[in-house]
Amino acid sequence: DSGVTQTPKHLITATGQRVTLRCSPRSGDLSVYWYQQSLDQGLQFLIQYYNGEERAKGNILERFSAQQFPDLHSELNLSSLELGDSALYFCASSVDVGELFFGEGSRLTVL
Amino acid sequence: GENVEQHPSTLSVQEGDSAVIKCTYSDSASNYFPWYKQELGKRPQLIIDIRSNVGEKKDQRIAVTLNKTAKHFSLHITETQPEDSAVYFCAAPKGGATNKLIFGTGTLLAVQP
C-alpha cells in the first residue's frame, strides 16, 4: 500500500460525458501528479500540483482540468469524453523532488 | 524536447542471465534519474534511483549507471529471476525544481525459467 488513494477504481461511461477522478495523497506529501497510461503505452505526464498551486503542465488536453484542494486531495476532471480517452489514470504524490508514490489507478472505459 | 528515450521496448532473457535497459534524456539540467517497475495490473513502484553527483548505484541485484556527458543512464539486473518479469520505466525530470517527471516508453522484461 503506497498510501495514495484513488477513486473510483473502475469507471465506464459514454462518449460526450464528463467524469471526475479523485486522489488523496500520502499524509505529508504536498505534491500531486496525474499520469495517463493507455493500453501498451507509457506514463504520460498530465499535470502537477504543489500545495494547491499548479506547478507543471504536460500534454493535458483542454477538455481535461485538475485542481488541488486545501486538504491536498486532488481531482482530475475529464469532459466531452472520447473513445481515445479510455486509459488508466494514475495519481502519484511526493514530498519534493524524489520518489513518486503511485495510487492503484482509476481505469476509465469510454464506450 | 522533453523526450526520454528508452531501449529496448521488449527484452527476453533466460533465468540467471543479466538484463540491461538503456535510457537517454535531453534536458541537461536533469539531476535525478529513477527507475520504476510495473508488474501486470499493478501500480509503478520505484526500484532504484540515482542523482547526478554519482556515476553508479547498486542495490543487491540491481544497479544504475549514469553518464551525464552523454546524457545516458542504464538499469542493470543481474541473476534475473522470473519475478523480475515486468515493465520497467526510466524517468528524468524536466524543468529543474518543478519535478515534472517524464517517463520513458517502458521495457517489457520477460525472464524465461
DSSP B61-90: TEEEEEETTTTEEEEEE-S--GGG-EEEEE
Spell out where chain A has E strands: 5-7, 10-13, 19-24, 31-37, 44-50, 53-57, 64-68, 74-78, 87-94, 101-102, 106-110
- Give the pLDDT of residue B99: 64
Q: Do A99 and B34 count as a contact with CB atoms less than 8 A apart?
A: yes
> Grid coordinates in use for A84?
481515445
Q: Which of residues A101 and B30 earns the better pLDDT score?
A: A101
pLDDT tens digits along B9-18: 999 999 999 9
Q: Please tell me whether the peptide bond between B8 and the residue prior to it is cis, using omega within 30 degrees of 0.
A: yes
**Per-residue pLDDT for B79 more than 70?**
yes
Average pLDDT, integer, range A93-111: 91
A75: contact with B, CB 8 A cutoff = no
- Give the pLDDT of residue B21: 98
- Partners of residue B103 in chain A, C-beta under 8 Å: 35, 42-45
- Give the pLDDT of residue B101: 86
- Give the pLDDT of residue B2: 61
For residues A65 and A77, give the distance between their C-alpha atoms in angstroms, rounded to a whole number: 5
> Grid coordinates in use for A37?
497510461
Percentage of the residues of chain B whose pLDDT score is greater than 90: 76
Please give the mean pLDDT across all residues of chain A.
94
**Per-residue pLDDT for B52 more than 90?**
no
pLDDT tens digits along A21-71: 999 999 999 999 999 999 767 899 999 999 999 988 988 999 999 999 999
In this structure, are residues B12 and B74 in contact, taking their beta carbons and an 8 Å threshold?
no
- Give the pLDDT of residue A1: 85
- Residue A54: which of A44, A69, A42, A43 has the closest Cα? A69
Which amino acid, one-letter code, is at B8? P
- Give the pLDDT of residue B14: 97
Which residues share a beta bridge with A107? A10, A88
B44, B105, B106: residue with CB nearest A102: B44
Other beta carbons within 10 angstroms of residue B25's beta carbon come to: 23
Average pLDDT, integer, range B86-108: 85
Tell me which of A100, A101, A106, A107 to substitute to probe the interface with B (most B C-beta atoms closer than 10 Å): A100
- Give the pLDDT of residue A49: 93
User: How many C-alpha atoms does B43 have within 13 Å on its Cβ side?
Assistant: 22
- Give the pLDDT of residue A63: 97
Other beta carbons within 10 angstroms of residue B18's beta carbon come to: 11
In this structure, are residues B8 and B109 in contact, taking their beta carbons and an 8 Å threshold?
no
CA B104 to chain A, closest CA, distance in angstroms equals: 7
**Per-residue pLDDT for B98 more than 60?**
no
Q: Which residues contact B10 (CB under 8 A, 6 or more apart)?
A: B107, B108, B109, B110
Q: Do A45 and B100 count as a contact with CB atoms less than 8 A apart?
A: yes
Percentage of the residues of chain A whose pLDDT score is greater than 70: 98
Question: Comparing A39-48, A75-84, B28-37, which segment has the lowest mean pLDDT?
Answer: A39-48
